[in-house]
Amino acid sequence: MSRPVAALLVLVCLAVLAAVPLFGSGYIVYIANLLLVFVVLCLGLHIVIGETGQFALAHAAFYGIGIYTAALVGNAYALPFPLPVLAGGLVAGVIGVVLGAAALRMRDIYLALATFAFGEAMQWVFLNWTVVTGGPNGLSISPATFFGIAIVNDKEAYPFVAALAVLMAAVTLVISRSRLGRSFRAVRDSEIAAMAMGVPVRRTKVTAFALSAVLAGVAGGMFATFSTFIHPDSLGFQTTILVLTMIVVGGLGSIFGAVSGAIFFGLVSELLRQAPQFQEIIYGLILMVFMMYAPRGLFAAAAAKLGGNRHG
């Protein structure tokens, strides 16, 4: 996609973001908040899978760590809005460094299995550490505050959630176009060639895990800003598969693909909420259709229609 078209697309997206609270109902604004959380989650998974080629399946766990950390910090200290979110991102990032360092010797299916096991272990912790997380009863989340003013509904939370999503997208874009982003892609394409070029492969992999976990933790903090309750059942393997499907459908290896996949599949997921028994079947059918007719994803297909062939 050419730069003028990409710039126009970004301006249209920003205009839509600004218009949502002006013309949308409370339900529409809630959905918009949820889609923005999905966008940040997908950006995190995009860094570790799309940019670095590490097939990790622990994203729902980092998302849950971000939610519980932000909620517990907010409940205990009533800190201003950005601080619980920052705490969620930092705690998830530190755990991401530990997991990344432990997974350095694994790759492909072994890495997927190890990170899957970590995700399942964290859900067990969320379910059974009742004193901290509320266990199977869930955890109530106190309203976030900003300069002492409580953020009590979705419309009040929306400007903060939207600003964080735009900030995280900008940070991801800067990282992708920096030397670090080039190192990520060098490791993805060939670790041996990357080492020959002087790329510190081990440090690059751990950095990708950490950044991915920080973004997932921030997404969790964003969720805690407009939500009043969290239950461990929503933080299982199904959430990781949902986010993975979003970046595959949007376009693996593309920031715009991750964003468009999060919005497209987030809306589909919300529409299918009325027919939960058919959700997994329809997800599978959508994935099959994309693999057959648009294997490079939604964004690449749209870019091809517009006459370009570059990824964002």
Residues 289 and 268 sit within 8 Å (Cβ to Cβ): no
- Percent of the chain past pLDDT 90, that is, above it, reads 26
Mean pLDDT of 85-98: 92
What is the model's pLDDT at position 26? 83
Averaged confidence pLDDT in the chain: 84
pLDDT range class, residue 305, cuts 50, 70, 90: low
Cα separation, 110 vs 114, whole angstroms: 6
Mean pLDDT of 34-58: 89
Mean pLDDT of 104-117: 81
Choice among 125-129, 266-270, 303-307 with the minimum mean pLDDT: 303-307
Q: Please give the single-letter amino acid code of residue 275.
A: A
| Coil/strand/helix, residue 149 | strand
pLDDT range class, residue 312, cuts 50, 70, 90: very low
pLDDT range class, residue 301, cuts 50, 70, 90: low
The secondary structure element, H or E, covering residue 39 is helix 26-45
| Coil/strand/helix, residue 24 | coil
3-state secondary structure labels for all residues of 46-101: HHHHHHCCCCCCCHHHHHHHHHHHHHHHHHHHCCECHHHHHHHHHHHHHHHHHHHH
Nearest CA to 9 out of 304, 309, 298, 302 is that of: 302
Report whether pLDDT(90) > 50.
yes
Residues 60 and 235 sit within 8 Å (Cβ to Cβ): yes
Q: Where are the alpha helices (DSSP H) in 129-234?
A: 130-133, 154-176, 179-189, 191-196, 201-226
